[in-house]
Amino acid sequence: MNTNQKAVVVFSGGQDSTTCLFWALERFEEVELVTFDYNQRHKEEIKVAKEIANDQNLAHHILDMSLLNQLAPNALTRNDMEVEEGEDGELPNTFVPGRNLLFLSFASILAKQIGAKHIVTGVCETDYSGYPDCRDIFIKSLNVTLNLSMEDDFVVHTPLMWLDKAETWELADQLQAFDYVREHTLTCYNGVRGDGCGECPACQLRQKGLETYVDKRNGGGS
Ligand SMILES: [Zn+2]
């Protein structure tokens, strides 16, 4: 049985990974964060991640993944392209193929170095937007591969895998972190913290989930 009590959370400073952070804090004695720096559209993301890590008094590892820019120039990593939503089931142009494969592989190498057996990631199949490496079957497969590659027994945790955006807010609330997540995290493509710009696809998705959950909490939904 895996009795290790140390976890690494893949952390971007957004709603999902911050909720995962609180989820991990409730379960593990020791939590460290890893953030991947690949010239995000807004350096603000890294700044927000650092501030939350400081705020929660957690060790924070920032890994330079700028090589992703060479492999997949797109709207997330290049400022001269606009963010657009995919149409008719096409992938949005923020798509970096295999990104989670890379991130989780690096997170597990970090975990190995710092003696953590648990890796926590906010990937989610419910809002499946075409990223094959967010699927549960992929995570389970990768978990086996990571363990074989390093002769170890890591457990990759995906607390948001089957939650929709409203349920993710509900989880944050159960973890006593609803206000914190709402006020401190950055989801907005335009770099506006908290409730965001209200215009971009990320803000609209976040806001819709928030409203659905708040309605439910207030006894609505009938
Ligand atoms: Zn926005």
* Residue 180 clears pLDDT 80, i.e. is over it: yes
Q: In DSSP terms, which residues pair with 35 in a beta bridge?
A: 62
pLDDT at residue 67, rounded to an integer: 82
pLDDT at residue 98, rounded to an integer: 87
124 is in an annotated binding site: no
Q: Which residue in 11, 3, 5 sits closest to 114, CA to CA?
A: 5
Mean pLDDT of 94-116: 91
80 is in an annotated binding site: no
Q: Is the domain 6-177 a CATH 3.40.640.10 member?
A: no
Lowest pLDDT segment from 64-73, 159-168, 171-180: 64-73
Alpha carbon of 191 to ligand 1 centroid (Å)? 7
220 is in an annotated binding site: no
**Domains of the chain, residue spans:** 6-177
40-53 pLDDT tens trace: 666 889 999 999 99
Mean pLDDT of 138-162: 97
Alpha carbon of 195 to ligand 1 centroid (Å)? 8
Mean pLDDT of 180-187: 96
Alpha carbon of 197 to ligand 1 centroid (Å)? 4
pLDDT at residue 68, rounded to an integer: 81
14 is in an annotated binding site: yes
194 is in an annotated binding site: no
Q: Left, alpha or beta for 8 (phi > 0: left; psi -120 to 50: alpha)? A: beta
**First and final C-alpha spacing in the chain:** 44
Place of tokens 């400081």: 54
Alpha carbon of 117 to ligand 1 centroid (Å)? 35
Share of the chain above pLDDT 90, in %: 71
Alpha-carbon 188 to chain mean position = 14
